[in-house]
């Protein structure tokens, strides 16, 4: 499971902004929303006749594979870098 998300925003003619977000405290804050999302996924799986356990297992594998992922987004003179550790 990812432990830390680092976000860096480079802005033209200004100092870059760096934000470090620890995943576990953020997950605890958003836990009620995550529970509702999981319930929504379960309902969608039942409606569309998809195996619920397999769908949730696949989602967990995707989340577990996130450490080491890096997103670089550039538009005009602004750049955003997101690193998941």
Reported as a single tens digit per residue, the pLDDT across 34-76 is 999 999 999 999 999 999 999 999 999 999 999 999 999 999 8
pTM surpassing 0.75? Answer: no
Q: Could you give phi then psi for residue 30, rounded to 5 degrees?
A: -95, 10
Alpha-helical regions (H) of the chain: 23-29, 31-47, 52-64
**Could you report the per-residue pLDDT of 71-82, keeping only the tens digit for each?**
999 998 899 999
């Amino acid at each position: 499971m990812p432990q830390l998300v680092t976000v860096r925003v480079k802005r033209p003619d200004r100092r870059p902004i760096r934000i470090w977000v620890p995943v576990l405290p953020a997950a605890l804050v958003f836990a009620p929303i995550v529970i509702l999302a999981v319930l929504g996924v379960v309902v969608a799986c039942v409606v569309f006749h998809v195996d619920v356990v397999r769908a949730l297992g696949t989602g967990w594998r995707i989340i577990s594979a996130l450490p080491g992922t890096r997103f670089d987004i550039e538009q005009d003179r602004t750049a955003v870098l997101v690193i998941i550790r």
